[in-house]
Structure 1
Amino acid sequence: MVKVSIMGSTGIIGKNVAFTLARADTVDEIVFFARPQSVDKAKGETFDMYDALAAEDIDCKLTPTDDFNDLKNSEIVLITAGVHREEGMNRRDLAIPNSEIVAEYAHQISVHAPDSIIMVATNPVDVMTTVAYKASGFKKTKVIGIGNHLDSLRLKAYFSRQININSSEVHTRVIGEHGDHMVPLLSSTTIGGIPLKYFVRAVDMEVPRLVNRLKKAGNTIISKKGATEYGPAFAIANLISTIITDSHKILTVSTYLEGEIADVHDVSIGVPAVLSKNGIAMIVPIHMNDFELHEFKEAAEAIKETTDIVMDNLNK
């Protein structure tokens, strides 16, 4: 019996993650947790989804609720709740109001689903991962932010489309902050097994332009349609599926570091990790060139600065 609960289930990301997971047919029950004033909307979402799932003969229980007790026995609880980012807003603009929501929800998860894994999608996600980790009291391996998984998928797709090659041939990764201080690991990127630095000599590839596009991707989408939707939802569902199927894939997520990478301590930041049914099985060591290392440490400092402000506010 695989049960996943989504806190913030009526939001754009939450409901899309739910539908993506339900269609994958790997989850037995999805809890649509919502605030009391949004429970009717959650019910409406489940009714609509049941109709769609019937067309594919999928039997997944969908439970709309505002009762924390319904989180019991969840394998994963996803926190997507919070103030949403609007055009021109930096993810950090959301830090104070969202931290209060995430802290409360993480505490309730620790009470009602103490054996679960907490996945954090609320922005700024690296900061909120630390908030959830501290508020829940869980082991750090059981609190996972969505980190740079979406950023990594975007960069992979950009390279693929730029040179008209199947995306399975592109192996790249983005680490650091899920935000302005993201760090594409270009030094270890390969295409068809060939290091990027050699590949670009033979192919017309505007790498700096692609990296700049990557860093602006969220705001670009928000400016054109009002919100990011499918990309984040599918990336999050991919992370959840990797965990519940015990796939042991290496994906880039936000986790609390205590010196495992580049001697960075006391901050949650995007790094490659092996994901299993128990959460983070291993933080994967990575090689960075001098520029990437400098950028990664700057990202850690920027995240920690915001995290300290948020934690001070919560402690008050």
Structure 2
Amino acid sequence: MKKPKITVIGAGNVGSTTAMRLAESGLGDVVLVDVVEGMPQGKALDLYQAAPVVHHDSILVGTNDYGPTEGSDIVVMTAGLARKPGMSRDDLQDANAKIVAECMSRVAKTSRDAIVIMVTNPLDVMCEVARRVTGFPRERVIGMAGILDTARMRAFIAMEMGVSTESVFAIVLGGHGDSMVPLPRYTTVSGVPLPELLPKEKIDAIVQRTAQGGGEIVKLLKTGSAYYAPAAGVWEMVDSIVRDRKKILPCSVYLQGEFGLKDVWVGVPCKLGASGMEGVFELKLTQEELALLHKSAADVKNQMNKLPADFGV
């Protein structure tokens, strides 16, 4: 049986760590792409030389062009600039929109049937860039955000309670940023709702720390941002797609009426399978929760409206 071909665009920390996780879990052969000459080739070779030790047979290839990516089943987009001191969110969005548009135009030519997983920030808006440039249906452009936000919330709850992270389940909706919407009511520890286990002030503190989870790591690292957890989030999405697991996972999706929202990218629970995003799982929300979700969506929509009509690719 032919192994899936998975292309990872961007050979920085997120991209190379993602390539490692995908290869070592045997999900498919991996092509690592980057504009820096020699870097993707070197990292791919290094990762492949680890195969005899960690016992996998995935082939890893590094390249500066898109020829070796042709016919990819899944494309993971990690390339882009990190926000620097003095750079506004709009500056970051403008810069990364150009990078994403250029990369996605190549993907549209070489891998017309691929499923695109977006990681580049600002994530929800970059999903819209990918959708417009490729012309792919919403089922085949999906943002990795909610899995990361949910993982952070689960980790913070486990830290607070001194329990296994595997016992904690959480749901985070909304845009990937300060306006995300964690749902403590749907968050459980071994099946018990979180509000029955922790006082409100502790839950509020966890929710706040979750919303600022990426920024906390940036401050600690000083010269970089998170990459282990984002790579793990991508791995879970690819695993569910390649193995057709039909997992319900929180991802950024182009909504078309779900939760009363239309033509906007928002993190919601969805089913991931061999066809990509196979349906949105609509939770029953309170009026307050729904209002927060709509506010988060409005923030994303405001940023989407700042995108140019033509990306010049």
Range into which the TM-score falls when normalised by the shorter chain: over 0.9
Residue 89 of structure 1: CA displacement? 6.0
CA contact (8 A) 1:147 1:269 kept: no
CA distance in 2, matches of 1:94, 1:169: 37
Unaligned 5+ residue runs, structure 1? Answer: none
| Paired AA for residue 2 in structure 1 | P
Matched AA of 2:206: L
CA deviation profile, 1:86-140 (whole Å, cap 9, x unmatched): 4686655421111111122222212110111011100001001111011111111
* Alignment map for 1:1-316 (pairs within 5 Å): 1-8=3-10, 10-27=11-28, 29-35=29-35, 38-86=36-84, 93-200=91-198, 206-225=202-221, 226-261=224-259, 263-312=260-309, 314=311
Cα-to-partner distance string for 1:4-50 (whole Å, 9 max, x where unaligned): 00111x211000100111111221x1111121xx1311111122112
Residue 214 of structure 1 deviates from its aligned partner by 1.0
Q: What are structure 2's unaligned runs of at least 5 residues?
A: none
Contact conserved, 2:71 with 2:111, CA < 8 A, in 1? yes
Shift of the alpha carbon at 1:210? Answer: 0.9
Count of aligned pairs: 309
The percentage of counterpart residues that share the same residue type is 31
Amino acid at match of 1:5: T
Q: Distance in 1 between matches of 2:150 and 2:192?
A: 18
- Computed over aligned residues only, the root mean square deviation of the Cα atoms, in angstroms, reads 1.9
Indicate conservation of the 8 Å contact 1:160/1:170, yes or no.
yes
Cα distance in 2, alignment partners of residues 189 and 93 from structure 1 = 35
Query: Compared with structure 1, are the counterparts of its residues 48 and 212 closer, same or farther at alpha carbon in structure 2 (3 Å cutoff)?
Result: same
Q: In the alignment, is the contact (CA less than 8 A) between 2:45 and 2:61 conserved in 1?
A: no
Instruction: Report SS of the residue matched to 2:305.
Output: helix
Q: Assess if the C-alpha contact under 8 Å between 1:174 and 1:252 holds in 2.
A: yes
Query: TM-score w.r.t. structure 1 length?
Result: 0.92
Distance 1:154 1:90, change over 3 A: farther
SS at match of 1:100: helix
Three-state SS of the structure 2 residue aligned to 1:252 is strand
Q: Distance in 1 between matches of 2:160 and 2:191?
A: 17
Give the TM-score taking structure 2 as reference length. Answer: 0.93
Q: Is the 8 A contact 2:45 2:62 kept in 1?
A: no
**1:313 offset after TM fit, Å?**
6.5
**Distance across 2 between alignment mates of 1:249 and 1:311:** 35
**Does structure 2 conserve the Cα–Cα contact (< 8 Å) formed by 1:86 and 1:227?**
no
Q: Aligned equivalents of 1:264 and 1:185: distance in 2?
A: 18
Partners of 1:89 and 1:302 in 2: CA distance: 19
1:223, CA displacement in angstroms?
1.3
Aligned residues of 1:162 and 1:205 also touching (Cα < 8 A): no
Residue 53 of structure 1 deviates from its aligned partner by 1.9
